[in-house]
């Protein structure tokens, strides 16, 4: 039976380091395999060969993929991030207004300053509440 007193501190530290590198390695593999399947410029055979190398010759396959396609990975990642940002932008713009109460408050301040008339304020208020 293994007790904590029988497992020295340096062994625990070494086990934690190995576990960290194991998780990091899995993360790298998942990222590269995801990039392989997202590529539009590669055929199915090329994708199959990369997956074969990544699974059966992992260290050499990862290094080869990063050397050959590292710049492309960065570009594809940037494009995906820009697409996600473009999809999210309308929601962020709509939520950044503060809602109807904020719009009515802005209209009321414009009315009080004399910048708009009572009819314009009523229109703005109706639009904010719609």
Enumerate residue ranges in the chain where pLDDT < 70.
1-6, 94-98
| Cβ contact 53:61 at 8 Å | yes
Give me the pLDDT at residue 63, please. Answer: 93
Is the Cα torsion angle 55, 56, 61, 65 positive or negative in sign?
negative
Give me the pLDDT at residue 81, please. Answer: 92
Residue 106 sits in the same domain as residue 46? no
Residue 30 sits in the same domain as residue 66? yes
Residues in the chain: 130
Helix (H, G, I), strand (E, B) or coil at 116: coil
Give me the pLDDT at residue 67, please. Answer: 93
Domain with 119, as residue range(s), is 98-130
Distances in whole angstroms, Cα of residue 27 to Cα of each of 1, 22, 31, 33, 113: 33, 9, 6, 10, 58
Token duo for residue 61: 């396959």
**Rounded to an integer, what distance in angstroms lies between the CA atom of residue 12 and that of residue 96?**
48
Per the structure, how many domains does the chain have? Answer: 2
């Amino acid at each position: 039976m293994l007790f904590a007193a029988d497992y020295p501190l340096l062994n625990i530290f070494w086990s934690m380091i190995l576990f960290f590198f194991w998780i990091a390695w899995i993360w790298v593999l998942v990222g590269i395999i995801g990039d392989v399947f997202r590529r539009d410029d590669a055929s199915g055979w090329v994708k199959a060969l990369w997956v074969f190398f990544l699974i059966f010759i992992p260290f050499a396959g990862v290094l080869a993929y990063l050397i050959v396609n590292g710049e492309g990975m960065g570009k594809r990642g940037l494009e995906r991030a820009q697409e996600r940002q473009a999809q999210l932008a309308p929601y962020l713009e709509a939520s950044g207004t503060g809602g109807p109460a904020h719009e009515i408050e802005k209209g009321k301040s414009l009315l009080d300053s004399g910048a708009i008339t009572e009819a314009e304020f009523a229109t703005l208020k109706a639009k904010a509440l719609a």
